[in-house]
Amino acid sequence: MTDTAVPPPAPAPAPQGEDTTVAILAYVTPILCLVGIVIAIVMHNNKKTKLGAYHLRQALGLVVASIAVSVAFMVVSFVLHFIPFAWVVIALIRFAIGIGILALMVMGVMAASNREMKPLPVVGAYFEKWFGTTFD
């Protein structure tokens, strides 16, 4: 008698609405201070879906990129702070960063609600490369 490993059974597909909920909830992270992504991860771990995993990776990338841009902005604003009237430039940069992150978040929610696995513009392909097997 030979011992052959039996592969584990494939996870049951999640109800159609549940994976969309996970995908959308992942993007509300900046609003809820990481609570949204934690809830989405817990829900995804209960019933894993490709759509949920994909949008969790995109949202995680958005969070990491937002933190990196915020740190870089803090350094730039500290340097610019010593220049007279630089507060105008600092305010414009801060506004542009906020609008950019909000726009990416809205695009992610739209793709998730349409059940599309479409990467975020400009940065989504990088997120897929960096977090390719996360949440699978």
Could you give the angle at the alpha carbon of 28 between the alpha carbons of 78 and 54, nearest 5°?
A: 105
Residue 32 confidence (pLDDT) above 70: no
Is 122 a member of any domain?
yes
Integer Cα distance of 89 and 71 in angstroms: 17
Q: How many domains does the chain have?
A: 1
Q: What is the pTM of this model?
A: 0.74
User: Quick one: average pLDDT of 39-63?
Assistant: 85
Is 45 a member of any domain?
yes
pLDDT the model gives residue 16: 58
Is 21 a member of any domain?
yes
Using DSSP's 3-state secondary structure scheme, residue 75 falls into helix
Is 11 a member of any domain?
no
Is 8 a member of any domain?
no
pLDDT the model gives residue 2: 52
Integer Cα distance of 1 and 46 in angstroms: 36
Is 40 a member of any domain?
yes
Which range among 66-70, 116-120, 131-135 shows the weakest confidence by mean pLDDT? 131-135
Domain that holds residue 72: 16-127
Is 77 a member of any domain?
yes
Residue 10 pLDDT class (50, 70, 90 cuts):
very low
User: Quick one: average pLDDT of 33-62?
Assistant: 83
pLDDT the model gives residue 121: 92
What are 80's two structure tokens? 């610019």
Q: How far is CA 124 from CA 54, 74, 133, in A?
A: 10, 24, 14
Is 69 a member of any domain?
yes
